Structure 1
Amino acid sequence: MEFQFDHEREQRTGVPEAVFCTHKSAAQIDAILAAARVGGHRLLLTRLDAGRHAALTATAGLDYDPLSGTAILGAQSLLSREGIGIVAAGTSDMPVAREAARTLAFSGWQAPVIADVGVAGLWRLTSRLDDIRRWKVVIAVAGMEGALFSVVAGLVAAPVIAVPTSVGYGVAAGGTTALHAALASCAPGVVVVNIDNGFGAATAAIKMLNAAGRQDIPSSRA
């Protein structure tokens, strides 16, 4: 067998295992799905492009979202948890924002997405500040020069998880410029995940709020 499920990952780490589909063949993904169905397990699949999805032989019960390249096998979670929200600089950043939103939904988090609030039209962002300031964690998704990260972090009390995207011309360098902007931000409270990593941002946000809600963290005082 070419794969092993880590069914205890959520219990151990607070976030469930996901299947990263890049470089996996359709046959390998079919085998993973078949094993999950036999065991009655839910699965989140990421980076499942439309061509590979079309090549799968059994898609029954698979909720596929082509924009984000994610698929969910099994029952949808009740979206009973709140506190995480997503802002996307432009419509071109929506595939990554949707990956984050779908990852959160898989774990039962209702995460609103406010799109097209890049700094070129700053009024679009400021008009939504009352909504954004209600969130406990903000996931900010942007390419180009990545200015959105510092602007948002300078306006809200919540931590900001910056997700640089590969959107942009020339010297945007496939997201490297936005990544460097996030890492070099002068606004305190910005943490950064890798380029286009909406999944990583979502799981980081879940862990932040899970840790904040824990009652069993030992005190450092004697």
Structure 2
Amino acid sequence: ARGLTRLDRRATYHEMARCVVVQRRKPALKGDVLVVTAGTADIPVAEEARVTAETMGSRVDVLYDVGVAGIHRVLRRHGRLLEARVLVVVAGMDGVLPSVVGGLVDRPVIAVPTSRGYGASFGGLAALLTMLNSCASGVGVLNIDNGFGAGCLAHRINMLGEAG
């Protein structure tokens, strides 16, 4: 991927997100997308979502490592959760953070399970099933490790708030 940046000076390699972006010009960033992770192992998928949404023109902020193993971390940031127009919540292991966030906000929550985890996480399947069975309203679930799809969807929802 780094070789691509030598071929085109507009190319930028985002190592944590594991992606290359080629832009003619950077868009003016609008709206408010918030990308949240349960743990640090979820950051690469979250970064893919962040880079994607920013590349498309959304203003993006992040809250990393605020999972339910230390529920006080996400509760302490409740005000910030309520400010966002749309939230991307990335979690592996048990995948419960999107349900918790969905219960705390009246905004769309895009849930992204990750393949990270150990024990009985089954490569993200446990998190996916937890998210699909969420009782919190307003939570939509993408496939395992789909940071790109989450970034695209978050941008589209975010831009609805910018329309006329």
| TM-score (normalizing by structure 1) | 0.69
Please, which runs of 5 or more residues in structure 2 have no aligned partner? none
Q: Which residue of structure 2 lines up, in the alignment, with residue 164 of structure 1?
A: 113
- Does the 8 Å contact 2:31/2:159 carry over to 1? no
- In the TM superposition, residue 61 of structure 1 has moved relative to its aligned partner by 3.0
Report what 2:45 is aligned to. 96
User: How far apart are the structure 1 equivalents of 2:159 and 2:36?
Assistant: 21
Cα distance change of structure 1 residues 74 and 209 upon mapping to structure 2, 3 Å threshold: closer
Match of 1:137 among 82, 86, 89: 86
- Offset, 1:73: 1.5
Q: Which residue identity does 1:63 align to in structure 2?
A: T
Cα-to-partner distance string for 1:73-106 (whole Å, 9 max, x where unaligned): 2345244202211111111100001000100111
1:150 to 67, 91, 99: 99
Which whole-Å CA distance do the structure 1 matches of 2:159 and 2:61 have between them?
Answer: 19
Q: In structure 2, what is the Cα distance between the partners aligned to 1:118 and 1:146?
A: 9
Q: Let me know the Cα RMSD of the aligned residues.
A: 1.7
Tell me, yes or no, if structure 1 residue 80 matches structure 2 residue 29.
Answer: yes
For 2:19 and 2:53, locate their aligned partners in 1 and report how far apart those are by CA, in whole Å.
12
Note the C-alpha offset of 1:212: 4.9
Q: Does residue 183 of the first structure (1) align with residue 128 of the second (2)?
A: no
Aligned partners of 2:126 and 2:79: how far apart in 1? 29
For the residue of structure 2 that corresponds to 1:180, the secondary structure is helix
Q: What is the distance in 2 between the residues matched to 1:157 and 1:109?
A: 20
Correspondence for 1:71 among 1, 16, 20: 20
Which is bigger in relative contact order (C-alpha 8 A, separation at least 6)? 2
Q: Which residue among 89, 102, 106 is the counterpart of 2:55?
A: 106
SS of the residue corresponding to residue 110 of structure 1 reads strand
In the alignment, residue 156 of structure 2 is paired with which amino acid?
K
User: Size of the alignment, in residue pairs?
Assistant: 163
Q: Could you tell me the percent identity over the aligned residues?
A: 41
Partner of 1:36: none
Instruction: Give distance in 2, aligned partners of 1:169 and 1:101.
Output: 25
CA distance in 1, matches of 2:54, 2:162: 19
In the aligned structure 2, how far is the partner of 1:75 from the partner of 1:212? Answer: 25
Give the alignment's TM-score, normalised by structure 2.
Answer: 0.92
CA apart distance, 1:179: 0.5
**Cα 1:213–1:62 shift into 2, 3 Å:** closer
**What's the CA shift for 1:199?**
0.9
Secondary structure of 1:210 counterpart:
helix
Q: Match for residue 19 of structure 1?
A: none
Q: CA deviation at 1:118?
A: 0.4
